[in-house]
């Protein structure tokens, strides 16, 4: 017979080999853990905060037990079925259980399907499946970024794994009034099916998730931020325009671009040195042949009011000056079979092991000596998934365990490598650019961009959904390669139109960043080291013709005018975890139509953005949420909410509406 016990405010269920812990974890929230092992592990993973002295109510009787924490109540039956309710007694989430342990229960069935299925793997751990009843008419948002145009994730099948342009951040908000964190960094899968929602971890020791209830999406998001941490306050310079391309090949080339921006009187806050400015991957230093005086370069840029960002890769070439030492000390990712090579781009390389605290310190010490001490205070932490030439998740092993079991946390610990080093030097308001994230990455100053995406309107449509779902997943700092990464000829009229529309959208992203691998490529400057790597065509705002230049300059000025407003948004993200860009329902949850719109968004509470997402479009339908009056930014026309209008969108204008008297 099942046994219910309570201990220090925790409700515990025990049956056969399984133990389940239901523990208050923050206001209106529970952490649920279950295992068939002798004991639970001590890992908190994404959860960084536990509120002490929560006055939870626990009641146990013969057939059921429940625990209540503010607006959420969990009930578990003698058969082990868990159901969560809100403060009004409405079901939020219930496990999908079909067995015969209780012949009088509504889940009595000959199917014999367990809600919490621990299927043994060879070696002692488990392939875990967690099943819930799929909520009727439920909408699901968050989960990080996937290259698809869907904002509502109901009906989708998502891989819980990190890949180039895919970031698994397993926190979701439901339209039913709860937030759910799958607190497990194992590679796996989630299916938000019509009948059943199934979460899977392909190799793990225990079940671990966190759930919260709230009256509004904002309340749920803020509860999650309290549990996992918030971003630092974004530094003022990062709110401006970032200039980047693949790739500036020399110190003088980069400085000439910065000088040209200043000569033209154009706003620019950050300029970026991309990959292969080093002799070999894993050297983590400038190649002196092409970057002869980094100290002078940084000084000149700072005199112009420009911050320099430098690319860091986690890869170590077997020929690198640091390879043998890192191999000897155990600082490199291991392979279970085959050659110890995990990526073969411009050399045979292995990643540093970000899960090893000593390896993190080693990398930071190199970066501090060769970059930070020269005045470089922000880094581009590329390849953050990390990217593999072959995504054989079972073949790689880290200090903390097998990749298949803990690998999704790699980008968070990569961010932590630099955050810890920079804060130890006394730096505040850390911001570093990464190509991936996991739950909790935000607290380490992670600005995430959407990876090496295609230059096309279909790709642009995907980025709108990706950015909004990243914000809901708790990563409020998001950006894209304006114009897309792969391809795009600056002389092609079709690409120029795409670039303009993407630039308009990028103006209303948390970070405005121009980047890409433009065509045709410039030839390599040499045959050794970084010089052997190609460079793309020009990618500055004056590279796309006179018409585009005039339009882009207008948006650079608009971004500067918005800085006081953007500062307000970044303060809310820092203090409460509020997404900077978010779906309409976040600010207007009582408007049913606001939950349906997937191709518009709010940039903060007062600016509605409706990007142009199709080639040749010069107008589009825009839904203006009810309960407020909207102002067309371009014409000043007042428009009542609660209706869909057709907004003009000439090439130079993105449909833009403000409220609450907001002006720029």
d(CA 30, CA 73): 9
d(CA 361, CA 500): 42
Strand partners, 317: 349
Residues near 242 by Cβ (< 8 Å), separated by ≥ 6?
269, 270, 271, 272, 309, 479, 511, 512, 513, 514, 515
| Most distant CA pair in the chain, distance | 80
The single-letter DSSP state of residue 53 is S
Closest CA to 417 of 432, 399, 404, 406: 432
Contact yes or no for 93/182 (Cβ under 8 A): no
Active site residue 373: no
DSSP-derived pairing of the beta strands 207-213 and 29-35: antiparallel
Cα-atom radius of gyration of the chain, to the nearest Å? 25
Give 118-173 as a 3 state SS string. Answer: EEECCCCCEEEEEEEECCCCCCEEEEEECCCCCCCCCCCEEEECCECCEEEEEEEE
Q: Using alpha carbons, list the distances in angstroms from residue 334 to 339, 401, 421.
A: 10, 10, 25
Bridge partners (DSSP) listed for residue 163: 166
Tokens of 346: 């411009």
**Exactly one of 75, 114, 287, 385 is catalytic; which is it?**
385
Active site residue 385: yes
- Do 558 and 507 contact (CB within 8 A), yes or no? yes
Q: How distant, in Å, are the alpha carbons of 125, 252, 403 from that of 203?
A: 6, 50, 9
CA distance linking residue 348 with residue 330, whole number of Å: 18
Q: Point out the catalytic residue in the list 18, 452, 547, 560.
A: 452
With residues binned 3-state (H G I as helix, E B as strand, rest as coil), the percentages for the chain, rounded to 5, are 25, 30, 45
Residue with tokens 């939870």: 56
Whole-number Å distance between alpha carbons of 434 and 643? 39
Structure tokens at 289: 């042949």
Report helix, strand or coil for 632.
Answer: strand
Q: Active site residue: 382, 497, 504, 587, which one?
A: 382
CA dist 571 and 86 (Å) reads 30
DSSP string, 186-206: S-EEEEE-SSEEEEEEEEESS
Q: How many CB atoms lie within 10 A of CB 614?
A: 12
Helices 493-507 and 457-472, interaxial angle, to 10°? 10
Q: Residue 209 in 3-state DSSP?
A: strand
Whether 382 is catalytic: yes
- Tokens coding 300: 């000149």
The catalytic residues are: 382, 385, 452
């Amino acid at each position: 017979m099942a046994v219910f016990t309570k201990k220090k405010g925790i409700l515990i269920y025990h049956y056969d080999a399984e133990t389940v812990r239901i523990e208050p974890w923050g206001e209106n929230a529970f952490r649920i853990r279950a295992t068939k092992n002798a004991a639970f592990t001590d890992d908190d993973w994404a959860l960084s905060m536990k509120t002490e002295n929560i006055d939870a109510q626990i009641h146990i009787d013969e057939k059921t037990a429940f625990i209540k924490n503010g607006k959420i109540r969990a009930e578990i039956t003698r058969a082990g079925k868990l159901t969560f309710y809100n403060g009004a007694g409405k079901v939020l989430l219930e496990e999908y259980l079909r067995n015969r342990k209780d012949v009088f229960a509504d889940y009595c069935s000959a199917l014999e399907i367990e809600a919490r299925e621990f299927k043994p793997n060879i070696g002692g751990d488990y392939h875990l499946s967690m099943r819930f009843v799929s909520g009727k008419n439920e909408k699901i948002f968050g989960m990080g970024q996937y290259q698809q145009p869907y904002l509502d994730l109901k009906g989708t099948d998502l891989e819980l794994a990190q890949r180039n342009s895919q970031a698994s951040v397993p926190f979701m908000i439901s339209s039913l009034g709860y937030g759910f964190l799958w607190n497990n960094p194992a590679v796996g899968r989630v299916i938000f099916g019509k009948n059943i929602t199934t979460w899977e971890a392909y190799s793990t020791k225990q079940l671990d998730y966190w759930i919260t209830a709230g009256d509004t999406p904002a309340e749920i998001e803020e509860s999650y931020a309290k549990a996992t941490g918030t971003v630092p306050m974004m530094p003022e310079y990062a709110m401006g325009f970032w200039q980047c391309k693949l790739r500036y090949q020399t110190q003088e080339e980069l400085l000439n671009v910065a000088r040209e921006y200043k000569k033209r009187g154009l706003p620019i806050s950050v300029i970026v040195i991309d990959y292969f400015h080093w002799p070999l991957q894993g050297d983590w230093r400038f190649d002196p042949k092409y970057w002869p005086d980094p100290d002078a370069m940084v000084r000149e840029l700072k005199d112009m009011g420009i911050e320099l960002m430098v690319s860091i890769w986690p890869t170590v070439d077997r020929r690198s000056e640091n390879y043998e030492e890192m191999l000897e000390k155990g600082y490199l990712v291991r392979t279970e079979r085959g050659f110890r090579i995990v990526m073969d781009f411009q050399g045979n390389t292995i990643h540093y092991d970000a899960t090893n605290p000593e390896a993190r310190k080693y990398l930071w010490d190199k970066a501090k000596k060769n970059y930070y001490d020269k005045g470089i205070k922000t880094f581009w932490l590329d390849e953050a998934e990390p990217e593999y030439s072959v995504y054989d998740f079972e073949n790689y092993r880290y200090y903390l365990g097998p990749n298949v079991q803990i690998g999704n946390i790699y980008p968070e610990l990569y961010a932590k490598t630099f955050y810890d080093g920079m804060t130890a030097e006394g730096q505040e308001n850390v911001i570093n650019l990464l190509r991936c994230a996991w739950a909790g990455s935000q607290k380490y100053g992670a600005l995430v961009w959407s990876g090496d995406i295609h230059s096309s309107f279909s790709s642009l449509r995907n980025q709108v959904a990706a950015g909004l779902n990243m914000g809901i997943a708790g990563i409020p700092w998001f950006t894209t390669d304006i114009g897309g990464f792969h391809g795009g000829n600056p002389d092609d009229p079709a690409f120029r139109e795409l670039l303009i529309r993407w630039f308009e959208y990028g103006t209303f992203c948390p970070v405005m960043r121009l980047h890409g691998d433009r065509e045709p490529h410039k030839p390599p400057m040499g045959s050794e080291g970084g010089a052997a790597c190609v460079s793309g065509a020009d990618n500055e705002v004056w590279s796309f013709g006179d018409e585009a230049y005039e339009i882009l300059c207008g948006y650079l000025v608009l971004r500067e005018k918005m800085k006081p407003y953007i500062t307000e948004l970044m303060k809310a993200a820092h203090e409460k975890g509020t997404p900077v860009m978010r779906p309409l329902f976040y600010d207007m949850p009582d408007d049913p139509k606001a939950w349906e719109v997937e191709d518009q968004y709010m940039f903060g509470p007062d600016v509605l953005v409706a990007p142009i997402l199709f080639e040749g479009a010069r107008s589009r339908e825009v839904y203006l949420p009810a309960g407020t009056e909207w102002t067309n930014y371009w014409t000043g026309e007042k428009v009542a909410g609660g209706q869909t209008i057709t907004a003009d969108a000439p090439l130079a204008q993105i449909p833009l509406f403000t409220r609450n008297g907001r002006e720029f």
